[in-house]
Amino acid sequence: MHQSRYALDMLNKFDMLHCNSANTLAEVSLKLEKDPGEEGVNLIEYREMVGSLRYICHTKPDLSSNVGVISRFMQSPRISHLNAAKHMLRYLKGTYTYGIFLPRGEPRTKVQITSYSDSDLCEDKGDRKSTVGYIFFLGGAPISWNSTKESVGALSSYEAEYIVVYEVRYVI
């Protein structure tokens, strides 16, 4: 299951079809913040780009967390936010043929569900809230994933992880 045609159309729409591909989803240790002193960008183009990236997250769970981060700046995007979105498009350029492989289950085999969750502690310097995420696998294929900002602030990494487990509990 993949969206390679949509990804190519999206790259063409934003004039990124002939760009160099990126090996990583984002620059290392990139911290995006609301900086009113930084130059603004075209609001419509930024929103279209983020919306397109959000749509492609349906088959590319690796993008979910980073697309969620750049979505926080929809009101007044800046140059650094647009550069982060374009870096994701460059990553997509090199991985647009990737997708989700849903293997056929063998009869009378045990169904195995695996889940992973993680959080960062107060990564957003604006409101000191953590970003949490989880992913569920059924027989090795991802079937459900999410990345969101916690509704409450955590005081320790242990508490942030506990909040993730509490929120994932409602998904099961």
Q: Is the pLDDT of residue 103 over 70?
A: yes
The pLDDT score that the predictor gives to residue 144 is 86
Q: What is the pLDDT of residues 69-100, one digit of tens each?
A: 898 889 989 999 999 999 999 999 999 988 88
The pLDDT score that the predictor gives to residue 123 is 66
Q: What is the pLDDT of residues 113-149, one digit of tens each?
A: 888 877 776 666 667 777 778 888 888 888 888 877 7
Residue 61 and residue 139 share a domain: no
In this prediction, residue 5 has a pLDDT band, given cuts at 50, 70 and 90, of: very high
Handedness of CA 147, 162, 130, 152 (dihedral sign): positive
Q: Is the pLDDT of residue 7 over 60?
A: yes
Average model confidence (pLDDT) across the chain: 84
% of residues, the chain, pLDDT over 90: 31
% of residues, the chain, pLDDT over 70: 91
Question: Cβ of 74: how many Cβ atoms within 10 Å?
Answer: 13
- Residue 71 placed within a domain: yes
Residue 84 and residue 8 share a domain: yes
Residue 55 and residue 119 share a domain: no
The structural domain count of the chain equals: 2
Residue 80 and residue 20 share a domain: yes
Give the domain range for residue 43: 4-95
- Residue 74 placed within a domain: yes
Between 170 and 158, residue with greater pLDDT: 158
pTM for this predicted structure: 0.78
**Which whole number is the average pLDDT over 8-23?**
93
CA separation for the pair 139, 110 (Å, rounded) = 9
